[in-house]
Amino acid sequence: MMMRTALVLLTGILLSSCKTIDINQLASAGGTLKQAFVPAGEAEESDIGREAAAVLLGAAPLLQDEQVQVYVNKVGMWLALQSDRPDLNWRFAVLDDADINAFAAPGGYVFITKGLLARLRNESELAGVLAHEIGHVVATHHLVAIRKQARLKLAGMAVQAALEERGTDTRQLQALAGGAKLIYSRGLDRKDEHHADRIGVVLAARAGYDPYGLVTVLQTLERMNPEAGELGLLLKTHPKPADRIAQLDRLMGRQLDGLTDSALGEERFRRQLAHLSNP
Amino acid sequence: MARILLLIVSLFASGLVSGADSGTISANTQLYQQPDGSVSGTLLANTLVEISQRRGGWYQVSASGGRQGWVRLGAVRLSGQQESDSVFSGLWGWLNSGYSVQSGGTATAGIRGLDAGDIESASADHTAVESLDRFAVDKQAARRYAASLPLRARQVADLKERRK
């Protein structure tokens, strides 16, 4: 699996940056010629996603609470089923971190911190957050950004040196992990965040939830003191909540007001988290 | 600890004062008699309002001078602490439990946040990624769980950024 990622990345780098390379050299560097031409696709996305998810889980541990973890998977999977990519290997998880944030990684990984979870009021708000992250995955925002960063890192090495180096796989994985760290600590392009907001609202509405869940979460963030430590990384890596609300307000207009039978899921949300109030 | 105490006190206080949410009108906005009903006036930017309820994309508000009605959700910037009816207040203890850090053989608990430095210095944890499989649910289970709320899937068009 790692070898495949390495080959796909290496192939991409070589084809894009060094057109005169001898193809036999390429094949001998990484394995067989056949392997070298495995097309970049969902396998590559899955490999990169696993590495990116490993970086996030290396920075913050999983919350040790099976009930809550399974709950977010049930809600998340139902939302993912409304997307264009229902067949990805979707994995949802709560991070044991008091800060307010959520993350996505390529291939179907979605994380929410317990700090954000604890500030939500109902399941439609949870749906809004998870659907925003699903939006990043579906639109391959992190995949494109991490791949670009990994290529830049690898391009820093002489191509010849990379070919002759033993342990090329390790270098490729380091480049991927490095790219993921850069993207998660500095954030995506702001237009990707607005794009994920648009997708998120639609997925939550398609799933039967109150379409305003994401908007009301953003209003919760907006009212918090921006100097509060819990919001540090989120505000550093995302557009201002007010700007995100303004975009959604402008684009949603009243076209989603006609949806009937929208669910807030307040009861169920409270029930699923009740045991956490008295740990 | 002082910060936590202060927040608990302010949450408590806001609950005692009104139990309602308050906010500020962010830009001049129309006040409606009912959601999507007839317009009864205009609320100017920076007008303080009390929010009594939300219905879809609308907040029911009351402003000084007895003006009452409905405004669009996006027209209001909420102020102060989160209202006391959220599950939030009950989860303070949980949040405060934070990480358990082994230090010199004793476990200490405290809030710590995930910042850029934590991510940059992280060692990839592949075992934790594998462990996510334990909590995964299949499509059927997700559909059954949705139906039990009940949630029903419906057609909704994409939101597209309009060309300028």
Distance to chain A for B139, nearest Cα, Å? 7
Contact A238, A244 (CB under 8 A): yes
Q: Tokens for A239? A: 């557009």
d(CA B134, CA B132): 5
B4 touches chain A (CB under 8 A): no
**What pLDDT score was predicted for residue A42?**
85
B98 and A98 in contact by Cβ < 8 A?
yes
CA atoms within 13 A on the CB side of A256: 34
A65 touches chain B (CB under 8 A): no
The residue to which tokens 């008295």 are assigned: A278
**What pLDDT score was predicted for residue A167?**
55
- Name the phi and psi angles at A269, rounded to 5: -60, -45
**What pLDDT score was predicted for residue A28?**
42
B155 and A278 in contact by Cβ < 8 A?
no
Q: Tokens for A173? A: 């994985």
Which residues lie across from A209 on neighbouring strands? A263
**What pLDDT score was predicted for residue A80?**
98
B88 and A121 in contact by Cβ < 8 A?
yes
Amino acid, single-letter form, for residue A199: I
In this predicted structure, which of A152-161, B57-66, B75-84 has the lowest mean pLDDT?
A152-161
Which B positions 91-120 lie with beta carbon below 8 A of chain A?
91, 93-99, 111-120
Distance to chain A for B47, nearest Cα, Å? 16
Strand B48-55 and strand B99-103: the pairing is unpaired
A198 touches chain B (CB under 8 A): yes
Best of A46, A51, A56, A190 to mutate (most B CBs within 10 Å, chain B): A56
Domain ranges of chain B: 9-78
**Domain B9-78 adopts which CATH fold?**
SH3 type barrels. (2.30.30)
pLDDT at B87 over 90: no
Q: Which residues of A touch B51 (CB under 8 A)?
A: none
Best of B79, B94, B138, B158 to mutate (most A CBs within 10 Å, chain A): B94
**What pLDDT score was predicted for residue B21?**
86
Please state, as a whole number, how many other Cβ atoms lie within 10 Å of the Cβ of residue A63.
20
* Closest CA relative to residue A128, chosen from A197, A194, A205, A214: A214
* Closest CA relative to residue B73, chosen from B113, B29, B108, B111: B29
B129 and A50 in contact by Cβ < 8 A?
yes
Which residues lie across from B107 on neighbouring strands? B102
**What pLDDT score was predicted for residue A170?**
76
| Sequence-ordered strand ranges (E) for B44-87 | 48-55, 58-63, 68-72, 76-78
d(CA A187, CA B136): 27
Distance to chain B for A97, nearest Cα, Å? 6
Which B positions 10-29 lie with beta carbon below 8 A of chain A?
23, 26
Q: Tokens for B47? A: 């007008």
Torsion over CA: A179, A180, A184, A187 (sign): positive
What stretch of H or E contains A12?
helix A2-17
pTM: 0.83
Contact A175, A146 (CB under 8 A): no
**What pLDDT score was predicted for residue A194?**
97
B72, closest residue in chain A (CA to CA): A249
pLDDT in tens, A98-107: 999 999 999 9
A198, closest residue in chain B (CA to CA): B159
**What pLDDT score was predicted for residue B161?**
79
Contact A121, B87 (CB under 8 A): yes
pLDDT in tens, A53-69: 999 999 999 999 999 99
ipTM of predicted complex: 0.83
pLDDT in tens, A111-169: 999 999 999 999 999 999 999 999 999 999 999 999 999 988 887 754 545 555 545 67
pLDDT in tens, A17-55: 433 444 444 444 443 333 333 345 888 899 999 999 999
- Name the phi and psi angles at A62, rounded to 5: -70, 145
A48 touches chain B (CB under 8 A): no
In this structure, chain B runs to a length of: 164
Please state, as a whole number, how many other Cβ atoms lie within 10 Å of the Cβ of residue B75.
23
> In degrees to the nearest 10, what's the CA dihedral of A80, A85, A90, A94?
-50
Contact B21, B78 (CB under 8 A): yes
Of residues A209 and B2, the one with the higher pLDDT is: A209
d(CA B85, CA B12): 11
Task: Report, in this order, helix, strand and coil percent for chain A, each rounded to 5.
Answer: 65, 5, 30
Q: How far apart are the first and last CA of chain B?
A: 50
Chain A to chain B Cβ contacts (< 8 Å)? 239
